Amino acid sequence: MKKLFITGLLALTTAAWAQTTVKVEDAWVRGTVATQKATGAFMRLTPSANARLVEAKSPVAGVVEIHEMAMENDVMRMRQVPGLDLAAGRTLELKPGGYHVMLMDLKQPLKAGEQVPITLVFEDAAQKRFTQEIKAPVTALGGGNAPMPMNHGAHKH
Amino acid sequence: MHRTPSVSSLSSAVLPRRQALGWLAAGTALWLTGCERVSTPASGSAPAFRGIDITGASYARGFSLTDFNGQRRSLTDFRGRLVMLYFGFVQCPDVCPTALTRAAAVMEQLGPQAADLQLIFVTVDPERDTPELLRDYMGSFHPSFLALTGSADEIRRAADEFRVYYKRVPTGSSYTMDHTALSYLFDRQGRIRVVLRHEQTADDYTADVRALLAESAA
């Protein structure tokens, strides 16, 4: 019991010590047409240690939220979620049919090929906040759900 | 006490109704898959669909709404062609563009036969989905796609006819829409035949469209 406690304490300390980073891959944003005010950003997140995505910001949107989409009895329901827990080394995919970063109150239409800067705000295991800047390429609205494979969202640490 | 309710007070005040609506939505799904499932005439030639065969259903009989060019539209306008109907909204980041991308893939798969299929999108968010926005939005998926809108009452009546559930859900400073994500397929005679689900693939949709196209034209 005591050993378990110490091991746990050690693990916590190590986690807090080493700076947690989150690898962000294949980020993309669905393009919009003029006067369309909202769209979604999708990506894959893999943290080096347990972390939580708590917020996202972008200069192209007045409001950014983390949303979850679910189908219940053929009804699509979309809800804001307060955050997404990320387990160490495990990839969480934000993709159509699940989670997305919802960009609302868009300031301009997003055209295919443009890059959307997004700031992801995470909390590490010690609830210390850290941010990561990414640039997500815009995929043509009618161009399907597949992101352009050659254009990964840059992951800076 | 008619102040604008906050999100939290709204959810508590509306809960019983929301539950009731939830049941209604669940009931609709049951209805589609169960009791109301009317089989095709026992002629032996009825095609097997990948979607749910609702031939002969007493709902989803038609609509009367206005397209993005201001023209009044009803099902009879499309007689001789198939119609695929979908309810959604433009500020929808996920399910609606996925459905429309799939519909565009169906058009692609159909080749020259695509001219015999009309995709119609009915907005459940007429307040934000202006005709101009609908025209731009649909055009980015396929030049032939049409969108319909109307007054809040008209949209509600059309959705009720299709047993489509939709509801405005506040989120932060804005709102989103919960809505039924089924596609309704009419034959060349304007009869409701098949309901396809969101989880189904473009291949499934194309197969059912082809099966209906193969039936003799009226």
pLDDT digits (tens, 9 = 90+) for A14-42: 545 568 999 999 999 999 999 899 999 99
Residues in chain B predicted with pLDDT less than 50, given as ranges, are 1-31, 33-44, 218
Residues of B in contact with A74 (CB under 8 A): 25, 28-29, 32, 180-182, 197-198
In the sheet that holds B117-123, the strands lie side by side as: B52-53, B192-196, B183-186, B82-88, B117-123, B146-149, B64-67, B72-74
How far does A135 lie from chain B, in Å, by closest CA?
18
Proportion of chain A above pLDDT 70, given as a percent: 80
Helices (H), chain B: 7-33, 95-110, 131-139, 152-161, 202-214
ipTM above 0.90, yes or no: no
Residue B156 backbone phi and psi in degrees, to 5: -60, -45
Give just the sign of the alpha carbon dihedral B164, B167, B171, B175.
Answer: positive
What is the model's pLDDT at position B173? 78
C-beta atoms of A74 and B91 within 8 A: no
Distance, in Å, from the CA atom of B187 to the CA atom of B171, rounded to the nearest integer, reads 39
Q: In B, residues 74-133, which contact A (CB 8 Å cutoff)?
A: 90-95, 97-98, 100-101, 104-105, 128, 130, 132-133
Q: Are strands A38-47 and A99-106 parallel, antiparallel or unpaired?
A: antiparallel
Average pLDDT, chain A: 87
Residue A127 backbone phi and psi in degrees, to 5: 60, 25
C-beta atoms of B91 and A142 within 8 A: no
What is the model's pLDDT at position B21? 46
Distance, in Å, from the CA atom of B59 to the CA atom of B57, rounded to the nearest integer, reads 5
The secondary structure of residue B95, as a DSSP letter, is H
Helix (H, G, I), strand (E, B) or coil at B56: coil
Query: Who contacts B22 (Cβ-Cβ below 8 Å, separation ≥6)?
Result: none
Q: What tokens were used for A127?
A: 């609830």
Mean of the pLDDT values across residues A48-54?
A: 97
Of residues A95 and B33, the one with the higher pLDDT is A95
CB pairs under 8 A between A and B: 118
C-beta atoms of B93 and A30 within 8 A: yes
Q: Are A32 and A141 in contact (CB under 8 A)?
A: yes
What is the model's pLDDT at position A45? 98
Residues of B in contact with A141 (CB under 8 A): 97, 137, 140-141
Residues of A in contact with B142 (CB under 8 A): 142
How far does A154 lie from chain B, in Å, by closest CA?
22
Q: What tokens were used for A115?
A: 């890059």
What is the model's pLDDT at position A88? 97
C-beta atoms of B94 and A36 within 8 A: no
Expressed in percent and rounded to 5, the helix, strand and coil fractions of chain A are 10, 50, 40
- pLDDT higher than 80, residue A11: no
* Exposure string for A79-109, b = 16+ CB within 10 A, e = fewer: eeeeebebeeeeebebbbbebbbbbbebeeb
* Domain A18-139 belongs in CATH node 2.60.40.1890: yes
Q: Are strands A38-47 and A22-30 parallel, antiparallel or unpaired?
A: antiparallel
The continuous run of DSSP H or E covering A100 comes out as: strand A99-106
From the number of C-beta atoms within 10 Å of its C-beta (0-12, 13-18, 19+), residue B138 rates as: buried
C-beta atoms of B165 and A145 within 8 A: no
Residue B74's Cβ-side half-sphere holds a number of Cα atoms within 13 Å equal to 6
- pLDDT higher than 70, residue A110: yes
Residue A7 backbone phi and psi in degrees, to 5: -60, -45
pLDDT digits (tens, 9 = 90+) for B149-179: 999 999 999 999 999 999 999 987 789 999 9
C-beta atoms of A75 and B94 within 8 A: no
How far does B216 lie from chain A, in Å, by closest CA?
31
Q: Residue ranges per domain, chain A?
A: 18-139
Q: Is A83's Cβ below 8 Å from some Cβ in B? A: no
What is the model's pLDDT at position B56? 96
What is the model's pLDDT at position B29? 47
What is the model's pLDDT at position A143? 72
C-beta atoms of B91 and A38 within 8 A: yes
Task: Please state the pTM of the whole predicted model.
Answer: 0.80
C-beta atoms of B172 and A63 within 8 A: yes
Residue with tokens 């609302």: A104
Domains of chain B: 7-214 (3.40.30.10)
How far does B26 lie from chain A, in Å, by closest CA?
6
Q: What is the maximal distance between C-alpha atoms in chain B?
A: 61
Q: Are B147 and B84 in contact (CB under 8 A)?
A: no
